[in-house]
Amino acid sequence: MLQVNVAHKVAIPNNKNKPKKEQEIYNNEEIKLLFNALSKAEEPFKTMVYVSFYTGARRGEVLALRWKDIDFKNNIIHIEQNKVRTVNGTVLKETKNKRSRQFVAPTVLLNKLKDIYSKQDGEELIFNCYPSTYTRQWTKFIKDNNLKYITLHDLRHTNGSLLASKGIDIVTIAKRLGHLPATASAYYLHAVSEEDKKASKKLDKLF
């Protein structure tokens, strides 16, 4: 009798012919519903989602953030590492594209981080959470609050699409999210702002 799964350490090869999943993102009204639900959520999950939304960082990048990566004085967040799952637990590695990045974060996010910083006792990592645990918490949160289901990675796409819809150039979006400009273009140039939709409706009512 086998005591362990002999295929446990086998890496499944990527199927390059598999069609990519279509992005699901939140529009402005759905973002308001998300924030309303988050106001009643518990820590540290609440702040993890705020960081994911406002930075567009990957799940592992959010969970690998250290307090020394947060420059409260200049409102800058440094993304330098990524928490990944292994057979023996989790490890901190370099980012997906092997490049660190930094960007100015909104004050509203820095204030939320300051709140939990004051309640911690010398921890190095901001969030002590397993990647799959964060995903399960997110899925349960979405279901419990009757929100449209999107993945945590789709929350990253929501950030990029929102910036594109507000007129932020693709190079800046790519830099913030850790994309190549060509990749960012493929993801976010299709984004149509809510204001543009309203403008179209106004034209429909001219005659």
Whether residue 21 has pLDDT greater than 70: no
Q: Does 12 map to a domain?
A: no
What pTM does this model have? 0.81
Q: Does 80 map to a domain?
A: yes
In 3D space, the residue among 19, 108, 16, 94 whose CA is nearest the CA of residue 58 turns out to be 94
Most confident range (mean pLDDT) of 13-22, 70-79, 157-166 is 70-79
Q: Does 8 map to a domain?
A: no
Whether residue 64 has pLDDT greater than 90: yes
Question: How far from 18 is each of 13, 14, 15, 21, 30, CA to CA, in Å?
Answer: 12, 9, 5, 9, 29
> 């009643």: which residue's tokens?
40
CB atoms within 10 A of CB 126: 22
Q: Does 128 map to a domain?
A: yes
Q: Does 184 map to a domain?
A: yes
Q: Does 157 map to a domain?
A: yes
Q: Does 145 map to a domain?
A: yes
* pLDDT, greater one: 147 or 194: 147
What CATH number does the domain containing 140 carry?
Answer: 1.10.443.10
In 3D space, the residue among 177, 2, 9 whose CA is nearest the CA of residue 79 turns out to be 177
Q: Domain range spanning residue 158?
A: 28-194
The tens digit of pLDDT for each residue in 109-122 reads 999 999 999 888 87
CB atoms within 10 A of CB 27: 15
The domain total for the chain is 1
Q: Does 155 map to a domain?
A: yes
